[in-house]
Amino acid sequence: MKPLLKTLTETFAPSGYEDAVRKIIQKEVKPFADEIHVDAMGSLIVRKKPTVETKNSKRVMLAAHMDEIGVIVSHVDKNGFVRFASNGGVFGRYTLGARIRFMNGVTGVVGFDKLEAVDQAPALNKMYIDVGATSRSDCPVKIGDFGSFERSYMEMGNRLVAKSMDDRAGVAVLIETLKSIKVTPHDLYFVFTTQEEVGTRGAGTAAYGIDPEIGIAIDVTGTGDTPASLKMSMELGKGPCVKVRDPGMLSDPRVVEWMVNTAEKAKLPYQREVLLVGSTDAKAIQVTRAGVMSGALSIPCRYIHSASEMVDLEDLKNSVKLLTAMLSKPVSF
């Protein structure tokens, strides 16, 4: 999984411009898919038909988003310095001094007007991107150009670090799950969604088209295992997290029970998740059409929405094992 994750995370695909990463995913999943298509929002929908029919067969949608946070050029001043707005949840504390790569290959570094307080990050509207230009006329980017963080993938033992682990880690888990499922009673839709970071847009339209009976998002979740972090129970290396609640949705208790019971029967480590900030594609899936029974499997991740997001390899492997075990057998509801 590590070579795949390196390729996925080092591919640039900010919200609305997911083409490059979609091509990589499509190549990976094609040998294992019964049907593949791209919908109007750009989400990649990969179907695996049931290999055996039972009375408890379900139409299941699994969603991991392809897009990553980024920036968009909003102004270029007379000296060629680039002002920008966020494209998704870009935070000042992670952005100052960052390197940015634009879709046209231009790179730049984030600077700031001045620091009012040396120990506080300025607001995004006090920052600019220096692309090496000396005037507006020789600036190599224009208004409306998109960019995202420039940072290479890195391994620290079992800890894997890269920009866009949110949610390329979930994408890798979904790809490996598709590869590992040999027998299933369910009609499975592996959906690699667009524009999650700007409002779970791709998941909502994909779910409307699929009309699933069960929806499961695979995404990262924050942890409470770093100094002075939020009081949350999720930790790196302790297994995938079964979402109970986040600010955007309440998981269906039947889906929570299904995930927990499967993990316990398979003797897989898992954690119960109550997330205090953020949400996932499950938020959009749950309220599609007349409503969908939904939940989420979350991968613990430190430093979310930075250029150095960190996950644990064993959590990724156990996420694949849990999803494979869940989807290989009928459900009892």
pLDDT at 29: 98
- From residue 33, alpha-carbon distances to 25, 50, 169, 267, 278 in Å are 12, 12, 20, 29, 31
pLDDT at 261: 97
Please state, in angstroms and rounded to a whole number, the distance separating the CA atoms of residues 85 and 144. Answer: 10
- The average confidence (pLDDT) of the chain is 95
Of 175, 179, 177, 171, the C-alpha closest to 32 is 179
- Measured at the alpha carbon of residue 215, what is the angle toward residues 317 and 271, in degrees to the nearest 5? 40
Has residue 56 got a pLDDT over 90? no
pLDDT at 190: 98
State the residue for tokens 């009309």. Answer: 211
Please state, in angstroms and rounded to a whole number, the distance separating the CA atoms of residues 302 and 225. Answer: 9
Tokens standing for residue 62 = 């699994």
pLDDT at 147: 96
Pairing of strands 214-221, 293-300: parallel
Torsion of CA 48, 53, 59, 63, to 10 degrees: -40
pLDDT digits (tens, 9 = 90+) for 197-232: 999 999 999 999 999 999 999 999 999 889 988 888
18 in active site = no
- Span of 109-123, 132-146, 151-165, 185-199 with lowest mean pLDDT: 109-123
pLDDT at 229: 82
Residue by residue, DSSP assigns 32-74 as G-SEEEE-TT--EEEEE--SS--TT--EEEEEEE--B-EEEEE
Q: Any bridge partners for residue 248, and if so which?
A: none
What percent of the chain lies above the pLDDT cut of 70?
Answer: 99
* Continuous H helices in 113-233: 165-180, 201-210
Under the banding of pLDDT at 50, 70 and 90, the label for residue 33 is very high
Amino acid code (one letter) for 210: I
pLDDT at 309: 96
Under the banding of pLDDT at 50, 70 and 90, the label for residue 149 is very high
Please state, in angstroms and rounded to a whole number, the distance separating the CA atoms of residues 298 and 276. Answer: 14
Amino acid code (one letter) for 179: K
Gyration radius from the chain CA atoms: 20
pLDDT digits (tens, 9 = 90+) for 317-329: 999 999 999 999 9
Of 175, 208, 186, the C-alpha closest to 48 is 186
Please state, in angstroms and rounded to a whole number, the distance separating the CA atoms of residues 221 and 243. Answer: 9
Query: Which residue would you say has higher pLDDT here, 253 or 121?
Result: 253
Please state, in angstroms and rounded to a whole number, the distance separating the CA atoms of residues 222 and 302. Answer: 6
Domains contained in the chain, CATH given: 2-68+163-327 (3.40.630.10), 70-149 (2.40.30.40)
Has residue 238 got a pLDDT over 90? yes
Under the banding of pLDDT at 50, 70 and 90, the label for residue 333 is confident
Helix (H) or strand (E) holding 260: helix 253-265
Catalytic residue among 196, 197, 273, 309: 196
Has residue 75 got a pLDDT over 80? yes
pLDDT at 6: 97
**DSSP symbol at 136:** S
Q: What's this model's pTM, rounded to 2 decimal places?
A: 0.94
Please state, in angstroms and rounded to a whole number, the distance separating the CA atoms of residues 158 and 312. Answer: 6
pLDDT at 233: 85
Please state, in angstroms and rounded to a whole number, the distance separating the CA atoms of residues 285 and 282. Answer: 5
Amino acid code (one letter) for 333: F
Residue by residue, DSSP assigns 225-240 as -STT--S----TTS--
**DSSP symbol at 124:** G
